[in-house]
Structure 1
Amino acid sequence: MKTRLILTACASALLLGLPAAAFAESAAPATVTAAAQGGVAVPPLGFTKRVLANGMEVYTARDASTSNVTVQVWYRVGSKDDPAGRSGFAHLFEHLLFKATKNMPSETFDRLTEDVGGMNNAFTADDVTAYYEVVPANHLQRILFAEADRMGSLVVDEATFVSERDVVKEEYRQRILASPYGRLFGLFTPETIYQDHPYRRPGIGSIEELNASTLDDVLRFHATYYRPDNAMLIVAGNFDQAQLDAWVDEYFAPLKRPATPMPVNDLKEPEPTGPRTATYYAPNVPLPAVVLAWNTVAYRDADRAALTVLDGVLSTGESSRLYRSLVYDKQIAASIGSNPDFAQQAGNLTAYAIMADGQSPEAGKAALEAEIARLRDAPITSAELSEAKNELVANALRGRESIDDRATTLGMALIMTGDATAADREIAEIQAVTAADIQRVARRYLTPQRQITINYLPADDEHPASVQKMNVDAPVTVAELAPAGPVAVLLPEAERARLPQPGAEVAPATPAVADFRLANGMRVLVAPTEGLPLVSARLNFNAGSANDPAGKPGVAAMTAGLLTQGTKTKSAPEIATAIEQLGANIGAGSGADFTNIYANAPKDVFGRSLSLMADLVRNPAFAAEELERQQSQTLDGLRVALSQPGSIAAQSVGRVIYGDAPYGAPGGGTLTSVPAITREDVAAFHAARYRPSQATIVFSGAVTPAEARELAQAAFGDWRDPSSAAPGPVAKAGPALPPRIVVIDQPGAGQAAVTAAIRGIKRADADYFPLTLGNTLLGGGFSSRLNQEIRIKRGLSYGARSSVGAQQDVGVFTASTQTKNETATEVADLILAEVGKLGTAPATEAELAPRRAALIGGFGRSLETVDGLGGLVANLALYDLPMSDLADYAGKVRSVTPQQVEAAFAEHLPTDRASLVIVGDASKFIDALRAKYPNVEVIPLTDLNLNSAALR
């Protein structure tokens, strides 16, 4: 299901289960509790507001059901405020704000968050830059101190500035240049839609303008926009209100409101004067694409609600008009979508199609225009209207599970409208939309005279790659920024304000898990929670891609994908419509070891959702025409994946480590195996491996064990195993193979993907926790060793990570990143060096303690959502681990010693067993790599054969 950024869907109420506090300006309207499905109410946002004397707004909401707290600071400055000649500057500045202050050395925010089991991050959008942390509640005071310190005393030196600018350039290469459609959606679409407004510049900027920025620009930007009267502080979670107010007064109230005004930036985008068309070309475009766009309205406009519901009808889910027409019926598009982008000062709606293999943008344009014309020419049906509303309101409910999402809802409302009740009113506004409203806005905005058409095609000798538009004017200039003022420096340690000490720990609670079986052998696990009326179910089978028939990778994935494409009594469109009318999320997928079928729905419709899920599992039709559709869509997806360095590397690693063993084959199939899958293949796979005695279903959320038993019995109680015996075990990993150094040459690649891989362990191995803890130190977060060496110290990547990769049989450990092609060899050396250190020298207790906290904190955050909790329980069941491990998780992590980590890495992950897979433009790094590895294998991408252990 498509995720959309609307206030009520991206986040949730600040106060759950308690009366909403009165808002100082106006009370939240009672209508926001309008029920989804007629039985489940979406709680209104509850918050209190006060304004400090320096102009900073403070919003707080207490939720004692969690052991965490979120702190968010939202600044009213975004990429639209980038000075002329400095596109990407607000985003670059976001990166720099994680560096030093006068009282805190660089990277202190990671010490205060990751190292205590929390997290931190930030984002930059057109109109806002926001910083947020989630930490155990006893660390609230420390985060408030830190946020106030970086608002008032940012410290950036030249070396730090240059290094982080290099990181942003790698992010640009990864998001824009290495992605086949990065240029289309990140550069060309906004610059074509907007003619005058600064929204036409990409938020990430350009390499040229990033290089033009200076340290003085940074200091002046901070002085201009990072001030208390341009900021909003939002705190939600488990805290004492009086104590919080005192801390806010202590740390934020002393910050001075500058006397200098902020630059004026309120440019009006002109009304379109006629249709426009643009065509762009780019390298490594596997399938052509077309985008239709129309200028619409700013966020606070009254027509936004109708346009939001219109977008739901147009492209949300497989029953949407665009999917039904272009993907399902005509089969001319590999994927479709639409997006209503409402910002502070202007807005647009786009509809796009990435064409199927052999199809043209002209065909996509005609089909998209036909569907838009239908919206103008006749009202939508009452069923379509109800379905779109139900999905939006159900998503609003799902968005009210975690404290950070609730705070984000409030922040978006404030940025877009200046009104904290806007998010609550949005639910009522959506419910009030009529079919006539949708037809009216379609006729008003989505007209041929206002239409912008963007064609996107592969570059060739005749059509060289299109270049990003440069030298774009903007309302704000560097000259208008405030003077930098005195330059802040990191104080000597003895002179720094001391960080507050943490308070008493608030421990996360894990629910007791009920465990029983139905008469047919199906295992039922129930993890009940209090709070929102949401229920999740996960039905798992021992049936993964490692069980694919020999020579036919992709059968397990195809079987799972076809479950929603027709049963004995329902067609694929009827299933899609039923799911979306319920506001449910129902689907299926397969991994290497297991297949998972899931359902998530509001409680009042969960019984019907589970019945539908059971019908999909028990009575699939596997119709020939649906198989053909799925094969076509899968092949188009593979073509897109095989244009991206990171995806190519990920699909190739299995063959390098496992060769012809079952784990070696790509789980989604290959360009040659997918067309060879027959209906008999998927039907036989389903008949052999989808059986109740081999299944586990996990319920989580607003459901009791008694209710779960009744639900499971009604849906699955009369299901019986087939008479044939269940298939026996498979040797999934095969024998260990010698290490290889493999380069897959992709000329013109925007970056190189570098992956080191080592045959690892089973999930049930006794060293799982030592390796998991060591891996968290190595590549499990921003402050991990890999990220420190590759991103923070050298600016060679946007991020580096690693994974233990434990599975039922011996899994594969990987450490990976993407970097510019020229530094691929250097980065490979850095990865192997860091992996090797963990097996040759013990980590210090000071290093491991924060990594333990990171694991335990991530575990605690998973407990906040019904799907997160259900996933934890399901994983224990899948690997035959005791349910007591849920409550014992923190203890198992805390008991790991540095010596156990070193011994586990030395035994299981020595670097002399490591293979390297590098995908990129080999002409830019092969000489340096060959000097180190004379036996390197170079495989042109055009020769890559994922069906073969040799990859040729």
Structure 2
Amino acid sequence: MRHLLAVALSFSLSACFFVVKEGPPDGHVHASSFHGGTRTAEASAEKSGANAKAASAVFPYAIHQKSLANGLKVIVVPMPADGLVSYWSIVRTGSRDEVEPGVTGFAHFFEHMMFRGTEKHPEYDKITNGIGADANAFTSDDITAYHLSFAKQDLPIVVDVEADRFQHLQYDETQFKTEAGAVYGEYRKSRTSPFSVLFEALQNAAFDVHTYKHTTIGFEADIQKMPEQFEYSKSFFQRFYRPENVIVFVTGDVEPAATFALIEQNYSGWKKGYTAPKVPAEPPQTAQRRITVPFEGQTLPLLCVSFKGERFLPKDRRTQAGQLLGELAFGETAPLYKKLVLDEQRLEMLGASFSPSRDPSLWSVFAMVKDPADVPAIEGEIWDAIAVLQREPVAVERLDEIRSREKYGFLTGLSTPDGVASAVAYPIAMTGGLECIEQQYATLDQVTPEDVQAAARAWLRPESSTVALLHTADSPPAPAVLAHQPVLFPVPEDPNVVFKLWFQVGSQDDPPGKEGLAALVGDLLSEGGTKSKAYDQILAELFPLAAGYRVSVDKEMTVMSGTVHRDKAAEFYALFSDAVLNPGFRTEDFERLRDAAVSALENTLRFSSDEDLGKAVLTARVFRGTRYAHPALGTVQSLKALSVDDAREFWRTHFTKENVVLALGGAYTDGLRARVQADLARLASGTPAMLAPPAVAPLQGRHALIVEKPGPSTAISFGFPIDVK
């Protein structure tokens, strides 16, 4: 599962780093030293309180930074590294900056071209391989980063080579076309990944004008035409690969002053010239969008529910709370993960990416569904989990656990130079420095359960969502089909939604000696707890909805009914379906309801309701010797003989997907109908034997039966059996 999730997030909409991004800090800091965003060294001596601030900082190493006259910013972080150094050139340009139509993908394209060499160093790879350096690069929505790890004595060689290629990259049209072809091959290869195919379609559907509409590699049509864009490629390099748009980050076994001097010597001749592109702002989304994505390969259905999130704001509590929502609701310690992945095993994978970004991007939930017919129900479960976040404050202990994981997940990655550089590349690209790290974690410490609620209500809304379903091309998920057609009474203008489930089982199905079992099982469904919720908890959650559900049992059928206002249909259905699918059969509920049934027989039927007693006696006489003879409640003797296991087995045998008829009325949606059908399809399979009608002995003449009991009233019941065929 971890492998699948890692694959999914590697293709996510922006790189999955928690600590990142906002606008650049005010002004440049020249030749200054910081520790976790607070001044140290000379500045620390000026104020005694600074040491305490540094001691409480999150980032554990001293930060030295300098801006050259041409705008190039250099950050040096010395750390214990046994002679190793990591050198990163961070370009604050990604696919987000590709604003011209028809030429998407060039930020990623230059990740390839930058290894082509220069006039001075025509064989870049030969030089880096010769010193044993590990050289690579990556591109995402908001960043292009070039990184090397090597021995510290080779720092002068690396600075020389990196400065040269950023200023004097050289390639001819033949080399350009060769690399353009390689990029298209990379795109075609990505089409073998269902996650890559899904995200490409998802971003295109979710965004209208913002450049997050295309993935990092670009639109396929633009990649195909890329070999024709040789001259444009030169202009792209000249526009974006300028010192004001690049930050050099060096960490490891280095000495700051000497490193600054070396970099200034090699980069000072780099000319300014960067102008930020005008990235169009995405208009507010006002209605849910839904897409299906066919995949030319074999895959389980992949469901993604995405929301328009917020850009990175390290000082904003609600935004920081928003970035926690994915872990809180869909992470490996979330109740939904336990339910769907571990306990019920309906999902191959469940995860979320609520990563920050330079502009508002997508916050997404992913689920790989084992049974295609279960997709609507899984989507419903996701919305239910979101509703809980919006309705119920998260426990402070749970929030503290997430905070701790975020902090120490960041810190444990800082043990090597490359680990440090990898962890801070995104913050640097997004904000131009590392001050945001301390800002973010200080804000995170202040986030409250109410902030989490506010974030869920602000961003996790249906009207700002895009729901995407990827499936094998020749096997689109079919809706769940029950044995019996649903009975539907849609009334869109009705304020309510009505649910009814008719199970073809009644008191006639009570086993001999266990009369009353069907009615008791009905009571356990409507007035008992579920596997996850006690009955008092269910009542507390139903109370503000002004809703409820009940079960009625007669000779041949059991009907479970519920009515709720349309605005609360999702919340109500989560409780209603849990009662049907996951009854708890708790011992305390069983004893309470069995005792109530016994009391109803001994006290109410026998002594308080002459009319009901007369009907019961008449029924027993007319249907004597058949399964219709006993009251639906059973008998005192039979009820006292029942056990919890009897109830559980009766439910398993008779409450099956082949034995239920669904009825919906009022203002239900198509999505709700599909979810209910998918949920009912998860009931156990089985077709109970249909019992033949009871053979009733014909009555000859008139018969009278007198029941003597103390009391002032008299009730008379009379009737005879009729054939209704």
Distance 1:188 1:300, change over 3 A: same
Q: How does 1:19-34 map to 2 (within 5 A)?
A: none
Distance 1:448 1:118, change over 3 A: same
Distance (Å, rounded) in 2 between the aligned partners of 1:135 and 1:203: 28
Distance (Å, rounded) in 2 between the aligned partners of 1:75 and 1:311: 29
| Residue 66 of structure 2 corresponds to residue 53 of structure 1 | no
Aligned to 1:6: 17
Aligned to 1:283: 296
| Residue 165 of structure 2 corresponds to residue 165 of structure 1 | no
| Residue 105 of structure 2 corresponds to residue 88 of structure 1 | yes
Cα contact 2:336–2:385 (8 A) shared by 1: yes
Aligned to 1:321: 335
Secondary structure class of the residue paired with 1:98: coil
Aligned to 2:167: 152
Distance 1:29 1:376, change over 3 A: farther
Distance 1:314 1:98, change over 3 A: same
Cα contact 1:20–1:44 (8 A) shared by 2: no
Distance (Å, rounded) in 1 between the aligned partners of 2:346 and 2:119: 58
- Structure 1 gaps, min length 5: 35-40, 464-572, 574-952
Secondary structure class of the residue paired with 1:396: helix
1:8, CA displacement in angstroms?
4.5
1:69 to 85, 95, 101: 85
| Residue 306 of structure 2 corresponds to residue 293 of structure 1 | yes
1:270 to 276, 283, 304: 283
Q: Deviations over 1:232-258 (max 9, x none)?
A: 111111123332222112100111223
Secondary structure class of the residue paired with 1:350: strand
Aligned to 1:646: none
Distance 1:149 1:364, change over 3 A: same
| Residue 428 of structure 2 corresponds to residue 417 of structure 1 | no
Distance (Å, rounded) in 2 between the aligned partners of 1:396 and 1:9: 11
Root mean square deviation of aligned Cα: 3.1
Distance (Å, rounded) in 2 between the aligned partners of 1:411 and 1:378: 36
Distance 1:14 1:313, change over 3 A: farther
Q: Deviations over 1:527-559 (max 9, x none)?
A: xxxxxxxxxxxxxxxxxxxxxxxxxxxxxxxxx
1:326, CA displacement in angstroms?
2.1
Aligned to 1:193: 206
Distance (Å, rounded) in 1 between the aligned partners of 2:165 and 2:73: 17
TM-score by length of 1: 0.44
| Residue 456 of structure 2 corresponds to residue 442 of structure 1 | yes
Distance 1:452 1:31, change over 3 A: farther
Cα contact 2:239–2:275 (8 A) shared by 1: yes
1:249 to 240, 264, 277: 264
Cα contact 2:323–2:355 (8 A) shared by 1: no
AA of the residue aligned to 2:258:
Q
Cα contact 2:96–2:279 (8 A) shared by 1: no
Aligned length: 447
1:201, CA displacement in angstroms?
0.4
Cα contact 2:20–2:436 (8 A) shared by 1: no
Secondary structure class of the residue paired with 1:342: coil
Distance (Å, rounded) in 2 between the aligned partners of 1:286 and 1:59: 45
Distance 1:22 1:347, change over 3 A: farther
Distance (Å, rounded) in 2 between the aligned partners of 1:29 and 1:334: 49
1:33, CA displacement in angstroms?
6.0
Aligned to 1:353: 367
2:143 to 128, 137, 153: 128
1:287, CA displacement in angstroms?
0.9
Aligned to 1:102: 119
Distance (Å, rounded) in 1 between the aligned partners of 2:50 and 2:148: 26
Q: Deviations over 1:683-731 (max 9, x none)?
A: xxxxxxxxxxxxxxxxxxxxxxxxxxxxxxxxxxxxxxxxxxxxxxxxx
Cα contact 1:9–1:398 (8 A) shared by 2: no
Distance 1:134 1:218, change over 3 A: same
Distance 1:435 1:33, change over 3 A: farther
1:327, CA displacement in angstroms?
1.4
AA of the residue aligned to 2:338:
R
Distance 1:21 1:130, change over 3 A: farther
Cα contact 1:380–1:435 (8 A) shared by 2: yes
1:375 to 389, 395, 406: 389
1:58, CA displacement in angstroms?
1.0
1:416, CA displacement in angstroms?
1.7
Aligned to 2:519: none
Distance 1:251 1:306, change over 3 A: same
Q: Which moved more, 1:65-74 or 1:195-204?
A: 65-74
Aligned to 2:350: 336
Cα contact 1:308–1:340 (8 A) shared by 2: yes
Aligned to 1:388: 402
Secondary structure class of the residue paired with 2:69: coil
Distance 1:149 1:419, change over 3 A: closer
AA of the residue aligned to 2:108:
H
| Residue 232 of structure 2 corresponds to residue 220 of structure 1 | no
Q: Deviations over 1:289-341 (max 9, x none)?
A: 21111111001262331112222212332x22331232123332111111113
TM-score by length of 2: 0.57
Distance 1:50 1:297, change over 3 A: same
Distance (Å, rounded) in 1 between the aligned partners of 2:51 and 2:451: 22
Distance (Å, rounded) in 1 between the aligned partners of 2:188 and 2:425: 30
Secondary structure class of the residue paired with 1:181: helix
Secondary structure class of the residue paired with 2:258: helix
Cα contact 1:309–1:433 (8 A) shared by 2: no
Distance (Å, rounded) in 2 between the aligned partners of 1:379 and 1:55: 47
Q: Deviations over 1:412-471 (max 9, x none)?
A: 2232223421012222222222211111100111122322211222212999xxxxxxxx
Aligned to 1:138: 153
Secondary structure class of the residue paired with 2:355: strand
| Residue 241 of structure 2 corresponds to residue 230 of structure 1 | no
1:226, CA displacement in angstroms?
0.7
1:387, CA displacement in angstroms?
1.8
Distance 1:345 1:29, change over 3 A: farther
Secondary structure class of the residue paired with 1:349: strand
AA of the residue aligned to 1:100:
G
1:120, CA displacement in angstroms?
1.0
Secondary structure class of the residue paired with 2:292: strand
AA of the residue aligned to 1:92:
F
Secondary structure class of the residue paired with 1:360: helix
Cα contact 1:32–1:424 (8 A) shared by 2: no
Q: % of aligned pairs identical?
A: 26
AA of the residue aligned to 1:235:
V
1:78 to 94, 98, 101: 94
Cα contact 2:35–2:54 (8 A) shared by 1: no
Aligned to 1:746: none
Distance (Å, rounded) in 2 between the aligned partners of 1:218 and 1:48: 35
Distance (Å, rounded) in 1 between the aligned partners of 2:211 and 2:418: 29
AA of the residue aligned to 2:327:
G
1:357, CA displacement in angstroms?
3.5
Secondary structure class of the residue paired with 1:268: coil
Distance 1:358 1:199, change over 3 A: closer
Secondary structure class of the residue paired with 1:234: strand
Cα contact 2:40–2:51 (8 A) shared by 1: no
Distance 1:172 1:265, change over 3 A: same
Cα contact 2:137–2:145 (8 A) shared by 1: yes
Distance (Å, rounded) in 1 between the aligned partners of 2:50 and 2:432: 14
Distance (Å, rounded) in 1 between the aligned partners of 2:216 and 2:234: 20
Distance (Å, rounded) in 1 between the aligned partners of 2:451 and 2:162: 44
Q: Deviations over 1:879-932 (max 9, x none)?
A: xxxxxxxxxxxxxxxxxxxxxxxxxxxxxxxxxxxxxxxxxxxxxxxxxxxxxx
Cα contact 1:224–1:262 (8 A) shared by 2: yes
Cα contact 1:63–1:236 (8 A) shared by 2: yes
